[in-house]
Amino acid sequence: MNASPEAVKGSHRSGGATLFALSARSVTKRFPGVLANDDVDFDLAAGEVHTLLGENGAGKSTLASVLCGLYRPDQGAVLRNGTQVRLSSPRHGLQHGIAMVHQHFRLVDRFSVAENVVLGDKRLSFFIDQDSINDRVSRIAEEFGLPIDPLAVVGELSAGQRQRVEIIKALYQGAEILLLDEPTALLAPPEVEKLFETVRTMAKAGKSVVFVSHKLGEVVDISDRITVMRDGKVTGSVGRGEADTRKLAELMVGREIDLSPRKAKAPAGGTMLKLHNVSLHRDGVAVVDNVSLEVRAGEIVGVAGVSGNGQRDLAELVAGLQSPTGGVITVDGREMNGAGTREMRANGLAYVPEDRLGTGLSPSLSIIDNMVLTRPRGLLVDRKAAGAEAERYITELEIKTPSPHTATRKLSGGNSQKVLLAREIFAQSDTTKVLVVCSPTRGLDVGAVETVHKVLDEARTKGKAVLLISEDLDEVLTLADKILVLYRGAVVHSADSNALDIEKVGLAMAGIS
C-alpha cells in the first residue's frame, strides 16, 4: 500500500551516526477505542524544520503531544539528544527545551504581552518589575524578528500576533524545540508568510521546529523534511527536494483523491437569495456590515474569510436565527425580514450550520429521528417512511453506522455531516431552493471531504442556489462560482472564479485592499 516501503520506516537515520535533537522510538498511544499512534518513529535534527503531515485523526497531534510531554506514550520512548527522557508534563518537557504552541492559544486576554510571556516563570522575583520584563520580552522579540509591543493587551491582537506571543513565550522559557500545532489554521495568507519567515529565522539560530499540518500545499516550501502519517502510522518521510505533492497526497490518503475544482456546468438561473445592505449590530459594533450579495439558482457563491470575521452571524441572519438591524433579505422573491427559521424553511431555505452536532443535529436522537426533525409539523410521525429514507441515504452517501437507529453523537464527524446534508439537501429536494452551508468539511478527513463536495456539486447541478460560507479558502476556491471575502463583517472583495486573483483574495482576507 505504501509508495516505497523501504524508504519509509528508516526516516532519515543514516546508519545511526547522527545524534538527533529529539526522537520518538516505537511510540504507541491508545485512547478509548482509538489507536492514535501505532509504533511510530520520528527524528528531528537540530536546526531542522520538520513537518508532520497527515489528515485529521492521523495521529500527528497525538505524536506532537507525546513529544512535548502532554501525553505519556503507552509504549516506546522519547529521546532528547540521544538519551531517553520520561516527560511527565509540558512543564517537564520545557525543562528539556521542548515547547508546543497549541492551535488554540493559551493566553490571558486581559494581560499585556509581557505579562503573558512571564506568567508561570518561577525564576521571577516576588515583586514584578514591569520595566525589566518588558525589556526582556522586547529583546527576545527583536532577536527573532517578531516585532511586537510588550505593553499591548493580548485580547486586542490579531490571531497572527497572538501566535507570535506564544512563540516568544516558548523562546523566553528557553525552548530549543518548538512544536507548532496547525499554526496556519487561523492565519490569513500574508500572516502565514510572516510566520514562515520567523520559522526560518529560528531554524537559522539553531532551533528546531516541528510543523504539524494537514495543509499539503503550504508545507513543501518551508520544510527540510516531511514525515507523513495516516491512521496512527508513519507512511513515509521525504527530505527537501524529494517532496512531490502528488506523492505526499497519496501517502496521506492511501489512495488517489479527486479534489480538482468543481464548477457549474450550466449557466445560472434566476436569483433565489438576495441580501441588500444587510447589517447586524451588537453592543454598538457592526458584526455584519452592509453586506449585499445574490445567489442564483444553479450556482455556488462562496464566502471566504479568516475565522471570526462575521461568518457565523451572516449565516444565522440568512437562516432566520437572528434578525438584521438593517437591510433586506429576500428568498425567492419574498422579503423575509424578521421571519423566523420556520418561515425561512417553509419558503425553501435549508441550513447546514457550522456546529453540526448541537445546532445541526440532535446528538442523542437516532439518524431516523434527526431526519424527521425538519418535516412539516403534524401530530404523528411517520417513522416507517423516514426509516426507509434513512436507509437509502446511508447506502447512497456511504454513511458508516451500525444502524439507522444509532444516536448521531456516536457517528464520526464525517458521517454526522453526511446525515445532516442528507436531511437538508435531499429530504425535501423538491421544495428546497436555497442552501446555506457553513464550513461543511471542518474536521473531516479527505475522503469525507470528497463526498461532501460531490454532494454540494450535485445540489448545484439540480438547480439549488448554494451559499457556501467557509473558513477553508481551498474549499471555496474548489467549489464556488463566485467568491466574496468577508473581513470584520463587511464584504471587502468579490470576484468571479474564472477571473480570480488569488493574491488579492489573500490580502483581502487579511484586511489589506
- Which residues make up the interface to another protein (CB under 8 A)? 31, 89-92, 94, 106-111, 115, 118-121, 124-128, 283
Burial of 364 by CB count in 10 Å (0-12 exposed, 13-18 middle, 19+ buried)? Answer: exposed
Taking the complex as a whole, how short is the minimal distance between the CB of residue 130 and another protein, in angstroms?
9
Taking the complex as a whole, how short is the minimal distance between the CB of residue 120 and another protein, in angstroms?
3
* Closer residue to another protein in complex, CB, 94/510: 94
* Closer residue to another protein in complex, CB, 282/405: 282
* Closer residue to another protein in complex, CB, 124/512: 124
Taking the complex as a whole, how short is the minimal distance between the CB of residue 93 and another protein, in angstroms?
10
d(CA 160, CA 284): 26
d(CA 185, CA 170): 19
* Closer residue to another protein in complex, CB, 129/135: 129
Q: How many CA atoms lie within 13 A of 68 on its CB side?
A: 24
d(CA 202, CA 176): 9
What is the bridge-based pairing of β-strands 22-31 and 98-101?
A: unpaired
Q: Report which of 258, 214, 255 is spatially closest to residue 2, judged by C-alpha positions.
A: 255
Taking the complex as a whole, how short is the minimal distance between the CB of residue 389 and another protein, in angstroms?
34
* Closer residue to another protein in complex, CB, 111/477: 111
Burial of 1 by CB count in 10 Å (0-12 exposed, 13-18 middle, 19+ buried)? Answer: exposed
Residue pair 412/441 in contact by the 8 Å Cβ criterion: no
Convert 433-444 to b/e letters by CB count within 10 Å (16 or more is b).
bbbbbbbbbbeb
Taking the complex as a whole, how short is the minimal distance between the CB of residue 445 and another protein, in angstroms?
17
Contacts of 387 (CB under 8 A, 6+ apart): 368, 404
**What are the C-alpha distances in Å from 385 to residues 50, 371, 388, 391, 404?**
53, 10, 5, 10, 12
Residue pair 164/177 in contact by the 8 Å Cβ criterion: no
Taking the complex as a whole, how short is the minimal distance between the CB of residue 278 and another protein, in angstroms?
23
Taking the complex as a whole, how short is the minimal distance between the CB of residue 34 and another protein, in angstroms?
8
* Closer residue to another protein in complex, CB, 19/119: 119
* Closer residue to another protein in complex, CB, 62/417: 62
Q: Which helix (H) or strand (E) holds 111?
A: none
Taking the complex as a whole, how short is the minimal distance between the CB of residue 409 and another protein, in angstroms?
16
Show the beta-strand stretches assigned E in 423-497.
Answer: 434-438, 465-469, 482-487, 490-496
d(CA 432, CA 448): 23
* Closer residue to another protein in complex, CB, 19/31: 31
Taking the complex as a whole, how short is the minimal distance between the CB of residue 132 and another protein, in angstroms?
13
* Closer residue to another protein in complex, CB, 120/269: 120
Contacts of 333 (CB under 8 A, 6+ apart): none
Taking the complex as a whole, how short is the minimal distance between the CB of residue 308 and another protein, in angstroms?
16
* Closer residue to another protein in complex, CB, 120/270: 120
Q: Which helix (H) or strand (E) holds 441?
A: none
Taking the CB of residue 313, how many other CB atoms lie within 10 A of it?
A: 20
Taking the complex as a whole, how short is the minimal distance between the CB of residue 90 and another protein, in angstroms?
6
Residue pair 297/498 in contact by the 8 Å Cβ criterion: no
Phi, psi for residue 477 in degrees, rounded to 5: -65, -35
* Closer residue to another protein in complex, CB, 95/245: 95
* Closer residue to another protein in complex, CB, 28/201: 28
Taking the complex as a whole, how short is the minimal distance between the CB of residue 89 and another protein, in angstroms?
6
Taking the CB of residue 365, how many other CB atoms lie within 10 A of it?
A: 16
